[in-house]
Amino acid sequence: MDENKNESLLLCYFTELMRPLSIIATVKVRMLFILLGLQTICCGQECLMFQKNRGRTAFYKKGDPISFRLHNDKTTYTFQILGFEDSVFVVSNYKINPKEISHLYVDEKTKIWYVFKYKYEKIFFLASIGYFLASVINEKTVTKEAATISGSLGGAAILARLLVNNKIRIKGKRRLVISDNCP
């Protein structure tokens, strides 16, 4: 009998201790839902979302510059995004549907996806100068071999500039859409 009485007192004491925690927990859950609701209301701005693949996405918001080419047009257009309406984005005096864009030009938002692609030119150029200077310092004269290797590295830098394409073709898995969920 004494044992049951101790258990019931312990249970009663435990529930009294837990009551404030459960109230705090419900308040926290309610605040979480309120904050999530406010975030969708306040931060539900539209943006242009370029999705290269599952892990690589760039968001262009109002005021961001964007460079692109349209289908069947080889002209490069560079504008600042002024706003969004329905399924189009507004630039200067034009309303452009993202489905009309065939190529997007690489900018600071998309350049980070390519680790070395846009650094070859700089690497070869610095290697050319570095090799030439190291050779001159070590041998105290300009040798034909140093000039040849340095010139070859300089030529590789020029070739890298000419061959590395700065356009991203929007085709297949690559999508350009207007989204309401922007970070």
Q: What is the pLDDT of residues 33-90, one digit of tens each?
A: 455 555 544 555 788 888 888 788 888 888 899 999 999 988 999 999 898 888 888 9
- Closest residue by Cα to residue 66 from 114, 113, 98: 98
Which pLDDT score is estimated for 65?
Answer: 92
* Of the candidate ranges 60-69, 154-163, 169-178, the one whose mean pLDDT is the lowest: 169-178
Q: How many helices (H) and strands (E) does the chain have?
A: 4, 9
The whole-angstrom separation of Cα 48 and Cα 84 is 8
Percentage of the chain beyond pLDDT 70 is: 76
Confidence of residue 148 (pLDDT cuts 50, 70, 90): very high
pTM for the full predicted model = 0.61
Confidence of residue 116 (pLDDT cuts 50, 70, 90): confident
SS (H, E, C) 83-121: EEECCEEEECCEEECHHHEEEEECCHHHHCCCCCCCCHH
Which pLDDT score is estimated for 175?
Answer: 85
Which CATH architecture fits 47-114+166-179? Roll (2.30)
- Closest residue by Cα to residue 77 from 88, 89, 91: 91
Cβ contact 87:96 at 8 Å: no
Task: Provide the residue ranges of all domains of the chain, joining segments of one domain with +.
Answer: 47-114+166-179, 120-163
